[in-house]
Structure 1
Amino acid sequence: MSGANRIAGKGRLTPAKTARFTYDGRILTGLEGDTVASALLANGIHLAGRSFKYHRPRGILTAGPEEPNALMDVSRDPSRKTPNVRATMQELYDGLTVSSQNRWPSLAFDIGGINNLFAPFFAAGFYYKTFMWPKAAWHKLYEPQIRKAAGLGVSPTQDDPDHYANRFAHCDVLVAGGGAAGIAAALAAAETGASVIIADERAEFGGALHFDTNVTIDGQDGYVWAQKTIARLKALPNVTVLPRTTVFGYYEHNFIGLAERVTDHMAKPAPHLPRERLWQVRAKRVVIATGAIERHMVFDGNDRPGVMLASAARTYLNHYGVAVGAKVGVYTAHDSAYEAAFDLKAAGVEIPVIVDSRDKPGEAVLAKARSMGINVLTGHAVLTTKGKLRVSAMVVARRGQKSGEKIAVDALIMSSGWTPSVHLFSQSRGKLAFDADNQRFLPGTYLEDCMSVGACNGTNGIQATIDEALGVGELLARAAGAEGKSTLSIAATQAFEWTGGMAGSAEGAGPDDTSAKAFVDFQHDVCAKDIRLAVREGMHSIEHVKRFTTNGMATDQGKTSNIHGLAIAAEALGKAMPEVGLTTFRAPYTPVTFGTLINHSRGPHFDPARKTPIHAWHEAQGADFENVGNWKRAWYYARPGEDMHQAVNRECKTVRSVAGLFDASTLGKIEVVGPDAAAFMNLMYTNSWDTLKPGRCRYGIMLREDGFVYDDGVVGRLAEDRFHVTTTTGGAPRVMHHMEDYLQTEFPHLKVWLTSTTEQWAVIAVQGPKAREIIAPLVEGIDLSNEAFPHMSVAEGKIAGVPTRLFRMTFAGELGFEINVPADYGQAVWEAIWEGAEPMGACAYGTETMHVLRAEKGYIIVGQDTDGTLTPDDAGLAWAVGKKKTDFVGIRGLKRPDLVRSGRKQLVGLKTKDPREVLEEGAQIVADPNQPKPMTMLGHVTSSYWSENCERSIAMAVVIDGRAKMGQTLYVPMADRVVAVEVCDAVFYDKEGGRING
């Protein structure tokens, strides 16, 4: 037998199957099937950690995922360390290493415990007041120390050696929770033929049947029935059973996130197995069967090790065979704690007294207590507890009295009722309803296709729970499209049927004594007096109380504390609980590891590189690459002996004198198709598209609703009902989303289909005086003459034998063509063009040269020369706004007084007085460099380059009233000098624009 507190004949574990583990350097023994918590209790260890703020000794409070105290650092080996693991959920295996947290130098003697002596100075909200003065001390004194003390546990310092998996799934019915209600619902749904996924966070299904041995289902022990039924479900081809799997998030349209712990319970997992698996499930219907969470009693000293929930003590006894003490006191305001006392008493544990704060408990439990010889004190309260590292006594008095009798105990179990677990329901955006009779919140108005069953729905009694679950399981399965019927009928009984409510505020709210440490939130050290202080400080909303006190903001997300905090605040305000409000339950239900969420997205896969179809050629030519979004783009092609600047200068000169090839495949490309395509384009862009004929192109500006520039690009009309839209490289996803959003929400009447084709087309830009001469021998079916194919034209034909969409356009201000070919042929066509271009003296050029060439012509890049606050007029693009258009996205925004006032920033050019001086991008611009600080900034530099073609530096900038300042001298303060600049036109090269015609 492992552990002195194991009781022979109790529990469901096999005594012969032992497992050795280490806890804070001590080698201990448990049983296979134990959790760390049950194994520690079996070894007589209650001390499990130190609290966050006061560093008070803390013990194991619960037996489930709501555990706030027993957070451990667990490891299989030095490279696999995970902090903040709940001891109640970590399964034991041979060789597991466990360490307590938030203490130094040891758990028994923690220097941080001195904080408990200064507790009066650490009242709720103290940080809002204490660290405000002197102001200069914040960064030097307060912040470093606060950051050092913040957090629970120590983050791993080594790379995670494990791998993780991800799976997408669809099902007719997903059942969240594997207690009696969840199992019954899954069984009924499966019988109809529906595809079913049932998930539960524990290793074994059964929920409350783990501890409730007084339940009989179908003539057998409830837990046995659960295991047999799960085995039956596993054998069905239409059912997926997921143990050790937490349904942590409920998102829109029945999208559910599940975290499966695949190997965390294994001593030596197979190398091919992932540590955890993320399930992303789209379910037609969802059954929420998440049960209820027992609440603690709020009284002075309720946080001492050895004080725990009654259901937890019952779980450790009936499932793990562990007695939480030899002399266990009971403090309750609910009948369910009596059952824990009865089970402990029957197992040979001494129960000196049951202290019941109510005057009239249930008659059935009172009679049973009398028959077992257990003393019951009704209308009494536990005033405080005694003991240092473990509870040694409790002080009991009649309710309302200030002194009482000291009763020796080595453990104290408590219950003030049960809180329906409505977290997933709330995450689904459902609206809660308040059950005044039982002082609890229940599911009210549903917004998703789901239903709640069992304790989380406020259903009382095992037979009522199963009947409800069977009905809902079949109902939702048939609503999801299943055609079969369920004929199930399951009979169930239980020894005691009690209503799952909450103790009234007088019993559960805690004492008014400001010296009492009656804890509401164990993890954040929030006491009842802190809640009352928040109310006195003016916090009248529970959301404000939560943030002022930090109640419910820890890793347990207030599972045991939220309702208590609300009840105390309501009592202090003299209001009903619904009037004060309820805090928001957000995903995840319990913490999810970064590994599970990130999955394969780490290292080189963290930000996957996108490569163009011509990437291999660029690599072979020795190109350096820059990251543009996720794309790898050729930056420049340095020849032997050249640095970056020399390479860019050569490329710029070559493009303007001969020609250059540029890989523009990363441009966003969207196909807009349908009879209403032109009408849709008219609404999405500022200029008109009705007048654009097939075979012609137009530059378009897209705005946000507020009138600011969102994106730009050239659009080619291929037919009356088809447009080829280009976007900026970085803007492709958001422009597609922008269009889809408006099409679905504002213009659903339009018959238009949108398709992202960015990856389908490789784009080769050939720019320069000899561009036509280079591609002409390869083009079939398109007349490339100026007359037949003028600037801003598009045609379909072939190039190098490959189908192409050929655009006559330029981003360099030269005669130019953009050749779109299917991506698979991108490199072959590039090589064919290069074969003719290289002998003519043309070059391949990269993004840096592209930036210089476009800046010479004053062409903007959205996102670089705009910052989300520029209108088309600010950017010098007023000509692109249709003057006769009556409607488009952003038209009302453009008419706002602030957007048409004088004094707005406008895009202009800058010339440095010294032509060799190149400005820093982002540098601020001022009128007088000698003005007192803080200076008045007029704008900033958006683009700045050395132009080999202009033989000087050039820059673009946004400047207040920039166009009115033409010819004026402004100043740019740099890190070590001030540079004088002249405001000029943004076009530096070929102002007349004649070069685009060759």
Structure 2
Amino acid sequence: MSAKRLPAGGEINRGKALRFTFDGQPVLAYEGDTFAAALLAAGHKVVARSFKYRRPRGIFAAGAEEPNAYADLRKAGETRINLRLTTELAVDGAELRSASTAPSALHDRTGMLDLFARFIPSGFYYKTFIWPNWHLFEPHIREMAGLGRVDVTQTGPEGEQKNHHCDAVVVGAGPVGIATARMLAEAGQKVLLCDEASRMGGSLLSRDAVIDGLPGRTWARQNLDALQALGVTLLPLTTAFGIYDHNLIALNQRRADGSPDLLWRVRAGRILLATGAIDRPLPFDRNDLPGIMSAQGALTYLRRYGVLVGERLVLATNNAAGAGMARAFCEAGAEVVLVDSRPAAAEISAPGLRHLRGVEIRKAFGRKAVTHVQLSDDQTLTCDTVLVSGGLTPSIHLYAQAKGKLRFDDQKLALVPDSELAGITVLGAARGDFALDRALAALPAALGLPEAAVIPAEGTPWDITPAWPTPGMKGRVWIDYQHDVTTKDVALAARENFVSVEHLKRYTTLGMATDQGKTSNLNGLALMGQLTGRTIPEVGTTTYRPPFTPVPYVSLAGNRGGERMNPLRRLAVENQHRAAGASFGEYGGWLRPAWYGCDESAIMTEARLAREHVGLFDASPLGKIEVIGPDAAEFLDFIYYNTVSTVKPGGCRYGFILSENGIVYDDGVLVRLDESRFIVSCSSSHVAGVYGMMEEWRQDRFPTKKIFIHNATAETATFTVTGPKAREVIRAAGIEADLADEGFRHMTTRWGRFAGHELRLTRVSFTGDRSYELSVRQDLASGLWQKLAEATAEFKGGLVGIEAIMILRAEKGFIVIGKDSDGMTRPGDLGLSGPLRNKKTEFIGRRSLLQDEAQRPDRNQLVGLVPSDGLGLLPIGAHGIDLSGGAPRSIGYVTSSYDSVSLPHPVALGLIERGASRHGEEITLQHLGQRRRARITPPCAFDPEGERLNA
């Protein structure tokens, strides 16, 4: 391969030189070059190594279909990994490193793996590394796997995102895409035209064409100017990578200046796909050697970048496109042998051109680059580059993502769209119209614009003969270049009965490389069909999934980071907490007082004050989701594990909400205000989740019922007064309400008034002491808090942060979901099994609770734990261990652990195997190499009779 930069030609700016390095070697480029074009011009033959065998790989194509040329880029301290060199514009000062090679792509020391290729065919790792233990091999395999190395210390800039609405999105700015955009814009539609290349024009930038009497490039330039004048949004360097529901199309726009990509979310009335087609490789022995390239890719390097990829070319083809490309290379000064497998192909001639018909390449030769080829008639041709054109594969990925069905066209030897989709139209080469005149002539009817004039063009009739890989081909015929899949691997999959197209993909990794099968899939399908006696349609295709090309995470994330991803929610009386000396922390997405004072020593003081006198706690983040309507009770019976419809107006009930697999998702108190109005008080961190769950079930299971759900959490402030003096504090704060125990018992609610406004009081307790929750509108919160704080101080109490509340609730054995439960915890594990036996109506997760797994007697169950070794506090996360079998076996773990303010010893909660039946038993705990002893007790360590609730 003796590529060189021609003294003239191309679209590059030869007046502005750029310099970068590749594997430490300096490379000269010009403004407008891609990295791949500059590397070719500099004579770099080997730019990468294949994934499995580490075989040398050269540049194959010029666009997004490139399967080989990837590298990591570092500049100004920033690293970007796995960049496709054929689509990335060259950057001055960049340092390129070939992906996962050492020390370089040319001299990669892991290249010796290819010597053992016969012993490591597809699927070998499934069979080889199961003995004696997969984990012995896993670290080494994972170290070798992957492409590129992430710089974990790097913190890059935020990505950008944009929402856009228009009448039509045209994907692909080739001749068909440009003509489509102009017809729609002239019809008065708002149009967006995008193309992944740095310059719009598509095939017109490399192929010779005449449209409307003008040279193709001239026609493209004039029409793009006209589109700009018509107000069409033109987006070069922009890939449409996915189509989603309701005609949402996602675009990733790259920036020529190197700034983060821009993600467009576009809602379009109509999506028009003029995405063109990809040149297919040809199958022959050693068809992966560097210097073997896509003919269309080589023509692009010539016409756009002024790079002639070789001086002695063999251009192998099976279709009508080869003749025009051969002439172009001859005109650039190369000697060309056109090897056309079509026996009846028309004879062509040009200076420096030799035309062979009815023959094909059988084998390529060379070590790290191709040097000569052998033809099917045993003729040998010396060359420095081989160009292949095995037919056109329409780029129908976006159409297939939108659930479009494909059919195989026997005349064009390609998969093409089979039917129209609502709101999506496929045009031009993407639908199999490979002749330019026919593609343009079909536009008015396809667009529904019969009055639009047909654009005349000169086109070459499409003609092609099959050139599929066949069973039993000799040598190493490569299908997936990057993942090292050969015809023999596909044959092995067939012998082992992996004949389903999805199984073929996963067993051989065919089509799973970074190009996602753009150059390999169809050849693989054709070979599997021949091996199993099926046609390509019968073999079928794998599922097309977005993205069409890789999208940077920074683009997908946009500016959704930190508080913009999870906005930190703030309390209505935050300023008053700060004035009182609160130390804040983030709890369940809310900024809340952890304690009041200089340091953590205040926590125990607050807990003791609340237990002995009275404490005031801001509980505003607790969920307050109102469920209203005649059918609300029936609905909540389905939502809750417990029966809640029997709760009388003015009453409350504690209960669980489960996921569909029977796991405890949330707990809390349900308040019934009247016959048709309930308040679901869920955990502060689960408000959004519970609200979303209820709304989903309302729509799916109760669509005809009269139910209204309103999340009132953000509009309501809730303050908790807890402790023996709680009732006196409420009275002293000027709240008008009957607080007599006879009419206002524990787990009931009633209305009162504060400063002339309505206030709701609920007697529930998370501390085990007499407690009242007072809920008011947010605008009344500041005044109420001030009055309650003054009254609390009057009765020798104080403000209480969430850390002190955690101690008080642990003494009572009250759980925190997600802390004292895990992703396996079911209601029975927490001591609440009655509803499963007694509840007659259906509820979320019921079926899962009847499975054998949920009924196992050796499940981890909630218990209390008291240190019995005199060493003090038990460490959270310490595992209970069973030593009866010799090696330690985990039997659960400590979930909460605190020093107690009410008991002479620390308290802890845990989930321990068969814990409910082991009260009084001593167990061994282990944590970070240290062993402890603890006694299992009931979860409630303080006031088990509940006498203090009415003290």
The TM-score, its normalising length taken from structure 2, stands at 0.91
In the TM superposition, 1:391-406 aligns within 5 A as: 391-398=370-377, 404-406=378-380
Q: 726-735 or 160-169: which moved more?
A: 160-169
1:28 is displaced (CA, Å) by 4.5
Question: SS where residue 258 of structure 1 aligns?
Answer: strand
1:221 has 2:215 as partner: yes
C-alpha contact (below 8 Å) 2:79/2:154 kept by paired residues: no
CA distance in structure 2 between the aligned counterparts of 1:909 and 1:154, rounded to whole angstroms: 47
CA distance in structure 1 between the aligned counterparts of 2:828 and 2:119, rounded to whole angstroms: 58
C-alpha contact (below 8 Å) 1:164/1:276 kept by paired residues: yes
Question: SS where residue 170 of structure 2 aligns?
Answer: strand
C-alpha contact (below 8 Å) 1:652/1:949 kept by paired residues: no
1:726 has 2:644 as partner: no
* Residues 946-976 of structure 1 deviation map (CA, whole Å, 9 limit, x = unaligned): 3221222333344555444445555545566
Q: Which runs of 5+ in 1 are unaligned?
A: 399-403, 475-484
In the TM superposition, 1:309-324 aligns within 5 A as: 309-324=294-309
CA distance in structure 2 between the aligned counterparts of 1:336 and 1:134, rounded to whole angstroms: 55
* Residues 69-91 of structure 1 deviation map (CA, whole Å, 9 limit, x = unaligned): 2223334x331332322221112
CA distance in structure 2 between the aligned counterparts of 1:71 and 1:916, rounded to whole angstroms: 58
* Residues 868-909 of structure 1 deviation map (CA, whole Å, 9 limit, x = unaligned): 444434422345679464333334444556656766554344
C-alpha contact (below 8 Å) 1:908/1:962 kept by paired residues: yes
- Distance change in 2, residues 1:588/1:903 (3 Å): same
- Distance change in 2, residues 1:432/1:823 (3 Å): farther
CA distance in structure 1 between the aligned counterparts of 2:368 and 2:107, rounded to whole angstroms: 10
The equivalent of 1:992 in structure 2 is: 945
C-alpha contact (below 8 Å) 1:299/1:511 kept by paired residues: no
The equivalent of 1:325 in structure 2 is: 310
In the TM superposition, 1:973-984 aligns within 5 A as: 981-984=934-937
The equivalent of 1:451 in structure 2 is: 425
The equivalent of 2:453 in structure 1 is: 489
CA distance in structure 2 between the aligned counterparts of 1:410 and 1:349, rounded to whole angstroms: 11
The equivalent of 2:241 in structure 1 is: 248
1:355 has 2:355 as partner: no
- Distance change in 2, residues 1:558/1:983 (3 Å): same
Question: SS where residue 203 of structure 2 aligns?
Answer: helix
1:12 is displaced (CA, Å) by 4.1
- Distance change in 2, residues 1:971/1:722 (3 Å): same
- Distance change in 2, residues 1:911/1:441 (3 Å): same
- Distance change in 2, residues 1:889/1:98 (3 Å): closer
1:738 has 2:722 as partner: no
In the TM superposition, 1:413-562 aligns within 5 A as: 413-444=387-418, 449-474=423-448, 487-498=451-462, 504=466, 507-509=467-469, 512=472, 516-562=475-521
CA distance in structure 2 between the aligned counterparts of 1:716 and 1:586, rounded to whole angstroms: 46
* Residues 501-559 of structure 1 deviation map (CA, whole Å, 9 limit, x = unaligned): 7x63xx33167356x23221121222222222333344222323322322222211111
The equivalent of 2:89 in structure 1 is: 91
1:212 has 2:207 as partner: yes
Letter in 2 for 1:648: I
| Equivalent of residue 147 in structure 2, options 136, 140, 152 | 152
CA distance in structure 2 between the aligned counterparts of 1:985 and 1:587, rounded to whole angstroms: 53
Question: SS where residue 563 of structure 1 aligns?
Answer: helix
Letter in 1 for 2:121: A
C-alpha contact (below 8 Å) 2:167/2:268 kept by paired residues: yes
The equivalent of 2:289 in structure 1 is: 304
The equivalent of 1:751 in structure 2 is: 706
Letter in 2 for 1:205: M
C-alpha contact (below 8 Å) 2:471/2:530 kept by paired residues: no
Question: SS where residue 36 of structure 2 aligns?
Answer: helix
- Distance change in 2, residues 1:976/1:898 (3 Å): closer
Q: 165-174 or 301-310: which moved more?
A: 165-174
- Distance change in 2, residues 1:866/1:134 (3 Å): closer
Question: SS where residue 233 of structure 2 aligns?
Answer: strand
CA distance in structure 1 between the aligned counterparts of 2:301 and 2:394, rounded to whole angstroms: 22
1:287 is displaced (CA, Å) by 2.5
C-alpha contact (below 8 Å) 1:217/1:490 kept by paired residues: no
CA distance in structure 2 between the aligned counterparts of 1:804 and 1:172, rounded to whole angstroms: 52
- Distance change in 2, residues 1:830/1:881 (3 Å): farther
In the TM superposition, 1:605-644 aligns within 5 A as: 609-618=568-577, 621=580, 623-637=582-596, 639=598, 644=600
In the TM superposition, 1:130-145 aligns within 5 A as: 130-133=128-131, 135=133, 139=136, 142-145=137-140
Question: SS where residue 271 of structure 2 aligns?
Answer: strand
- Distance change in 2, residues 1:251/1:756 (3 Å): farther
C-alpha contact (below 8 Å) 1:462/1:492 kept by paired residues: no
1:372 is displaced (CA, Å) by 6.7
1:313 is displaced (CA, Å) by 1.7
CA distance in structure 2 between the aligned counterparts of 1:442 and 1:633, rounded to whole angstroms: 59
The equivalent of 2:805 in structure 1 is: 850
| Equivalent of residue 258 in structure 1, options 248, 251, 258 | 251
Same amino acid, percent of matched pairs: 38
CA distance in structure 2 between the aligned counterparts of 1:98 and 1:637, rounded to whole angstroms: 54
- Distance change in 2, residues 1:18/1:935 (3 Å): closer
Question: SS where residue 759 of structure 1 aligns?
Answer: helix
| Equivalent of residue 950 in structure 1, options 878, 888, 903 | 903
- Distance change in 2, residues 1:698/1:185 (3 Å): farther
- Distance change in 2, residues 1:219/1:661 (3 Å): farther
| Equivalent of residue 604 in structure 2, options 635, 649, 657 | 649
The equivalent of 2:549 in structure 1 is: 590
1:355 is displaced (CA, Å) by 1.5
CA distance in structure 2 between the aligned counterparts of 1:901 and 1:154, rounded to whole angstroms: 45
C-alpha contact (below 8 Å) 1:626/1:633 kept by paired residues: yes
1:280 is displaced (CA, Å) by 2.5
| Equivalent of residue 226 in structure 2, options 223, 229, 232 | 232
* Residues 256-276 of structure 1 deviation map (CA, whole Å, 9 limit, x = unaligned): 3221112xx23xx7xxxx521
CA distance in structure 2 between the aligned counterparts of 1:41 and 1:635, rounded to whole angstroms: 62
- Distance change in 2, residues 1:112/1:978 (3 Å): closer
Q: Which runs of 5+ in 2 are unaligned?
A: none
The TM-score, its normalising length taken from structure 1, stands at 0.87
1:800 is displaced (CA, Å) by 5.8
Question: SS where residue 738 of structure 1 aligns?
Answer: helix
C-alpha contact (below 8 Å) 2:170/2:273 kept by paired residues: yes
Question: SS where residue 667 of structure 2 aligns?
Answer: strand
The equivalent of 1:33 in structure 2 is: 32
- Distance change in 2, residues 1:246/1:952 (3 Å): same
CA distance in structure 2 between the aligned counterparts of 1:152 and 1:963, rounded to whole angstroms: 51
The equivalent of 1:119 in structure 2 is: 117
The equivalent of 1:479 in structure 2 is: none
Letter in 1 for 2:248: F
* Residues 156-195 of structure 1 deviation map (CA, whole Å, 9 limit, x = unaligned): 4652454421222333433333233333443444445444
Letter in 1 for 2:311: A
- Distance change in 2, residues 1:822/1:7 (3 Å): farther
The equivalent of 1:128 in structure 2 is: 126
1:660 is displaced (CA, Å) by 1.5
* Residues 619-670 of structure 1 deviation map (CA, whole Å, 9 limit, x = unaligned): 5555455544434443334556xxx4x5433222211211112232332332
CA distance in structure 1 between the aligned counterparts of 2:40 and 2:854, rounded to whole angstroms: 69
Question: SS where residue 849 of structure 1 aligns?
Answer: helix
C-alpha contact (below 8 Å) 2:435/2:459 kept by paired residues: no
* Residues 913-955 of structure 1 deviation map (CA, whole Å, 9 limit, x = unaligned): 45774444444446xx551235666554443433221222333
Letter in 2 for 1:550: T
1:789 is displaced (CA, Å) by 4.1
CA distance in structure 1 between the aligned counterparts of 2:709 and 2:441, rounded to whole angstroms: 48
CA distance in structure 1 between the aligned counterparts of 2:920 and 2:79, rounded to whole angstroms: 65
1:312 is displaced (CA, Å) by 0.9
What count of residue pairs does the alignment treat as equivalent?
949
Letter in 2 for 1:348: G
Letter in 1 for 2:215: D
| Equivalent of residue 772 in structure 1, options 703, 727, 734 | 727
CA distance in structure 1 between the aligned counterparts of 2:691 and 2:460, rounded to whole angstroms: 60
C-alpha contact (below 8 Å) 1:916/1:953 kept by paired residues: no
| Equivalent of residue 620 in structure 2, options 658, 662, 665 | 665
